[in-house]
């Protein structure tokens, strides 16, 4: 057997790292997110509580949204869309979801836009808003999550 040279050892080490990275990458997506990180589990639990008390009355306990949410109501305003994968929340990046929740849709559309979506600034802390967004995202299938994640990278 040839004596291992410095170069061989380096190459072996690099190969092992690449392999470990690959395995980690494969497992990362497959792990349910709360099995990964106890802090995230805490945030998820907080997010669910916030969702139930602050969002469910309009967006639905099952995140199903209001009936006929694609059509404006008699007052011309849009009903609350679902927050599960059948809605379009996942068309927004994390930052947009945060800003819509904190500042309302006026900040996102125009200042004069009429909407029933309240702004939660001063009502929920930033931590609670991030937690509720995380909770909403946790209900999406992997494919939708991946698609939404690609929007995060664009902003």
Q: Which residues bind ligand HEC (CB under 6 A)?
A: 54-55, 57-59, 78-81, 87-89, 92, 97, 100-101, 105, 115-118, 120, 132
Nearer Cβ to ligand HEC (88/146): 88
> Does residue 100 contact residue 131 with C-beta atoms inside 8 Å?
no
Rg (CA), the chain: 21
Nearer Cβ to ligand HEC (42/57): 57
Q: Between residues 40 and 102, which has the closer beta carbon with respect to ligand HEC?
A: 102
Angle subtended at Cα 37 by Cα 93 and Cα 147, rounded to the nearest 5 degrees = 25
Q: Terminal CA-to-CA distance of the chain, rounded, Å? A: 53
Q: How far is the CB of 30 from ligand HEC (least distance, A)?
A: 27
Q: How far apart are CA 98 and CA 59, in angstroms?
A: 16
Instruction: Find the shortest distance in angstroms from Cβ 47 to ligand HEC.
Output: 9
Minimum distance from CB of 39 to ligand HEC (Å)?
20
Separation of alpha carbons 137 and 7, rounded Å:
45
Dist. CA 76–CA 95, nearest whole Å: 27
Rounded to a whole number of angstroms, the minimum distance from the CB of residue 17 to ligand HEC is 39
**Closer to ligand HEC at the Cβ: 5 or 110?**
110
């Amino acid at each position: 057997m040839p004596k291992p040279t410095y170069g061989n050892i380096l190459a072996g080490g690099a190969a092992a790292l690449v392999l470990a990275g690959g395995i980690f990458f494969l497992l990362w997506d497959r792990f349910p997110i709360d099995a990964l990180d106890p802090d995230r589990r805490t945030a998820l639990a907080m997010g669910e509580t916030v969702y139930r008390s602050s969002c469910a009355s309009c967006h639905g306990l099952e995140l199903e949204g209001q009936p006929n949410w694609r059509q404006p109501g008699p007052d011309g305003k849009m009903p609350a869309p679902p927050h599960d994968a059948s809605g379009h929340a996942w068309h927004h990046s994390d930052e947009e979801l945060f800003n819509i929740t904190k500042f309302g849709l006026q900040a996102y559309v125009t200042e004069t836009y009429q909407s029933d979506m309240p702004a939660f600034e001063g009502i929920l802390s930033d931590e609670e808003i991030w937690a509720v967004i995380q909770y909403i995202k946790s209900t999406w299938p992997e494919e939708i999550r991946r698609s939404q994640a690609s929007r995060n990278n664009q902003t």
